[in-house]
Amino acid sequence: MHIVVMGCGRVGSSLAHHLERLEHSVAVIDQDPSAFRRLGDEFKGRQITGMGFDQETLIAAGIEEASAFAAVSNGDNSNIIAARVARETFGVQKVVARIYDSKRAEIYERLGIPTIATVPWTASRLLKAVLGESTDEVWRDPSGSVAMMHVIPHEGWIGRRLTDFESATGTRVALMTRFGSGELPTASSVIQAGDRLFVLSTDVLTDGLRAAAETSPDSVH
């Protein structure tokens, strides 16, 4: 798929190379043409000089056929504006913005734009966010028996109880985040749009968990 990356710093260039190695089509935007030196001669994607929230610049980068957009420049305001233009003007479904000020991240989450704080996240995690992977291991107990998985449930689960998800997967939902705030689930908790689940699982159950997270509950057997 085609992916547009705004910002050609260390994170943006690393993300672009990761995506290209996975054989995705990539375009990188930066207002400083010298920043493209980080990509090296082996980079085959588009290199677009301009502001990442300018519509003509985005069109030149192929935003109209893009499946994902990552705003990872060094400016919070530029990142969130560009992310909103990509989502709201061009209809890109998978959009992520890097944010330096963690206090503002919750505001952007409420706008439906996933945000990634600079310090705890690396290019590899940005890669997973851009590609839209529905599950990601975030913790494992010292014995290696139990893992906590970050899960973005398929839209078909919206309106279903968390207990239905647990029954379908054999796992336990330990925590959920909604609008950027953590919540402890209860027996009556219902999955809403934008919810992110933190699920306790074992290696035996992980494949089934991934399958359930990626499909509608009507497809889970």
Question: Is the CATH code 3.30.70.1450 the one for domain 135-219?
Answer: yes
Return d(Cα 165, Cα 179) in angstroms, integer.
Answer: 20
Number of helices followed by number of strands (H, E) in the chain: 7, 11
Residue 103: predicted pLDDT: 64
Return d(Cα 18, Cα 145) in angstroms, integer.
Answer: 30
Bigger pLDDT: 195 or 105?
195
Return d(Cα 20, Cα 200) in angstroms, integer.
Answer: 33
Task: Calculate the average pLDDT of the chain.
Answer: 86
Q: Which residues contact 150 (CB under 8 A, 6 or more apart)?
A: 135, 136, 137, 138, 196, 197, 198
Determine the CATH number of domain 2-131: 3.40.50.720
CA nearest neighbour of 162 among 134, 183, 136: 183
Would you kindly state where each structural domain of the chain is located, as residue ranges? Answer: 2-131, 135-219
pLDDT range class, residue 201, cuts 50, 70, 90:
very high
pLDDT in tens, 37-65: 999 999 999 999 999 999 999 999 999 99
Query: Angle, nearest 10°, between helix axes 162-169 and 203-213?
Result: 130
